[in-house]
Structure 1
Amino acid sequence: MSRAAVVAGLGSWVPPTVVSNAELAAQLDTSDEWIRTRTGIRQRHVIEPGSATGDLAVAAGRRALASAGVDGADLVVLATSTPDQPCPATAPEVASRLGLTGVGAFDVAAVCTGFVYALATAAGLLATGVGDSALVIGADTFSTILDPADRTTRAIFGDGAGAVLLRAGEPGELGALNGFVLGSDGTRRELIEVPAGGSRQRSTGRPADPADTYFAMQGKPVFAEAVAMMASSIRTTTERMGWSVAQIDHFVLHQANARILAAVAQRLEVPLERFVSNIERVGNTVAASIPLAMADAAREGRLGAGQRVVLAGFGGGLTWGSTALTWPDLKTV
């Protein structure tokens, strides 16, 4: 029988500094009501000056290892679009700080779909015997790349990290990840981007327009694409699992916007109550979004052993993806 990646540990971390809607309203032309009605967000966490994505990744990774009752892993895969620096990747330092020097460690960049892509990558490596365990972390600090004067993006995004410890096992086990779907559409990359800072802009030899150094997103088309692609990938994943959408106990989607979650639920014709949501407390944490939502739901006792769960994300690239598992009996930390 082929090997599968089995979820054996789960951890999360958000920085202690909380920024409420009221605090944003005092700085920008916005209000608590405006933010809540459009996004469902009441607050978000942001890192302190001098902190970085790697710091959050280490904290979440440590908790995932403790949850699994182990002190190591053969691989570290970090999903992030806000690495500590452009070069080198952040994962090797994260691994070293966790005491995992010498293991395979690398970053995966797929924006808000990053965690699903990282899960699929780690699952493939475990399936082929490259390792017997993998620490998969989603971590982002989008507060560092937002225009301070942009009320829309500053209202939406927060910082955080979530992680799972995967071990090699069998496809039929509780916690085994199966039914992976990954997709992309590079013709629409301009919908979600940071225009400057990469080789294309740098090769011109001209200084970047300051506005192009910040994250930018075209809200309306992103909303439509997110709903369509997540709903489609969820249907494909459930078909591959031999499940119907109606048989899914919980959907843990990328926490982009409360209205997107509601629209996906409507398109799938399933009750919104089955959709895990913590966006009200943490905002859109990009690659950290799905594991943070899983950790919160598990800690609250909402996810129980034997329940059918689907994970799905959508992000820049454009990228999207999903996977499914029957929830294992996990210790939460």
Structure 2
Amino acid sequence: MKAAITATGKFLPQEILSNKDLEKMIDTNDEWIRTRTGISERRILRDPDKATSYLCTGVAQQILEKRGIPASEIDLIIVATMTPDMFFPSTACLVQRNIEAMNAWAFDLSGACSGFLYALNTGAQFIAAGTHRKVLVIGGEKMSSIIDYTDRNTCVLFGDGAAGVLLEPACDDNHGLLDARLHADGRGGDHLYMRGGGSLHPATHDTVSQGLHFLYQDGKQVFKAAVTQMADIAAEVMEGNGLTSDDISYLIPHQANNRIIQATAERMGLPKEKVAINIDRYGNTSAATVPLCIAELDEAGLLKPDDNLILVSFGAGYTWGGIYLKWQ
């Protein structure tokens, strides 16, 4: 039994942090950011009393409304995030409480920027097993909570947001999630990480003063790996399923850098009209980027039955992967 997406949703903070705003904070400029990343603005959740669960709850509520079902029908909630509200309880449990989905169990999944693809495939397995009928899969991040806004190499890249999907049994075995190829290579861990806050470096005055609770990225190394792995996995999914560029309706890539997206599209032989891009408006929202693209395509009425979608991502770990979906 295949799992298909039957509803989508997205939830973004209202406040916009533009490149012009960043010019007032650090030594950078709008042209430099746009030409190197493709980003013009990003959303920021400023309210200190609101966190990732707030964004993910908004997504869940929107999905339930669109699908026209009560929360009691949800069997499972998976939240992909690397910025949970707290270590425990899980963000997914907070969402479950907020929407009163009392028949669902819930857990978080940490796959960094590949988290949504990891979670989507995980949720699909419960549908395929026949044990679950309705699974909420949400990618959500409050990236601003772990960004150093004095570091121009990272603060220009990231934004806050959440989006997700409802998985249900597909109408037949030729629709829904048809293939998933997921990978990891822990040797990349030295190039993209946050050292503070875990069991290795628990929060102390020293870890805070040393900036260990901020995201660190070796931009050149990560860029090099991301360009290769995202393009390779996209090609692997295409070839493994006998697809040509003409067969593909949309490439839905992780929104980390416009140059990485372009390189992936070129490897697949796809024109820009077939590539979902919103990095200019939202920046890199980590686990939320791919579902944000899906939700926007869905809202615009651009996804049609039998459309072939290729989802690809790359993130800290390293983690990366590709998924082939046929829309129903």
**What is the TM-score when the length of structure 2 is the normalising length?**
0.94
Aligned to 1:331: none
Distance 1:285 1:206, change over 3 A: closer
Cα-to-partner distance string for 1:88-108 (whole Å, 9 max, x where unaligned): 211011011112024110000
Q: Which residue of 1 aligns with 2:84?
A: 83
Q: Deviations over 1:116-143 (max 9, x none)?
A: 0000110111211331110000000100
Residue 206 to residue 200, structure 1, CA distance change in 2 (3 Å): farther
| DSSP-derived class of the 2:21 partner | helix
Residues 169, 326 of structure 1: alpha-carbon distance in 2 compared, 3 angstrom cutoff: closer
User: Are the equivalent residues in 2 in contact too, given 1:171–1:178 (CA < 8 A)?
Assistant: no
Residue equivalent to 1:109: 110
SS at the partner of 1:76? Answer: strand
Give the paired residue count: 324
- Tell me, what secondary structure is at the counterpart of 1:59? helix
For 1:167-190, what per-residue CA distance to the aligned partner results, in whole angstroms no more than 9, with x for missing partners? 02355354x111101100001111
What do the CA deviations read for 1:12-65 (whole angstroms, capped 9, x no partner)?
Answer: 010111111111111111111111111111111010222100000000111122
Q: Distance in 1 between matches of 2:219 and 2:245?
A: 28
> Match for residue 46 of structure 1?
44
Determine the C-alpha separation between the residues in 2 that align with 1:287 and 1:295. 14
**Aligned letter for 2:199?**
S
Distance 1:298 1:162 in 2: 12
**Secondary structure at 1:207 match in 2:** helix
Residue 50 of structure 2 aligns to a residue whose secondary structure is: coil
Q: Give, in whole Å, the separation in 2 of the partners of 1:70 and 1:238.
A: 35
Alignment partner, residue 228 of structure 1: 228
Q: 1:311 to 1:171 in 2, by over 3 A?
A: farther
Task: Measure how far apart 1:297 and its partner are.
Answer: 2.0
Cα distance change on mapping 1:146 and 1:286 into 2, 3 Å: same
Q: Name the structure 1 match of 2:196.
A: 196
CA shift, 1:246, in A, is 4.2
- Counterpart of 1:291, as a letter, is P
Identical columns (%)? 36
**Native 8 Å contact 2:177 2:323 kept in 1:** yes
Cα deviation for residue 239 of structure 1 reads 3.3
The answer (yes or no) to whether the contact 2:234–2:264 under 8 Å persists in 1 is: no
Q: Structure 2: which amino acid aligns with 1:265?
A: A
Question: What is the identity, as a one-letter code, of the residue corresponding to 2:62?
Answer: R
**3-state DSSP class of the match of 1:320?**
strand
CA RMSD across the alignment: 1.7
Q: List alignment gaps of at least 5 residues for structure 1.
A: 329-333
Aligned pair in 2 of structure 1 residues 173, 268: CA closer, same or farther (>3 Å)? closer
Report if aligned partners of 1:178, 1:325 keep a CA contact under 8 Å in 2: yes
Q: Distance in 2 between matches of 1:35 and 1:226?
A: 19
Deviation string, structure 1 residues 142-176 (Cα, Å, up to 9, x no partner): 001001201221111000000100002355354x1
Number of the residue aligned with 1:153: 154
The structure-2 alpha-carbon separation of the partners of 1:250 and 1:237, relative to structure 1 and needing over 3 Å to count, comes to same
Q: In the alignment, does 2:313 pair up with 1:292? A: no
What per-residue deviation string (whole Å, max 9, x for no partner) do you get for residues 249-269 of structure 1? 210011111111111122333
Quote the Cα distance in structure 2 between the aligned partners of 1:246 and 1:233: 18
Offset at 1:303? 2.7
Aligned to 2:96: 95
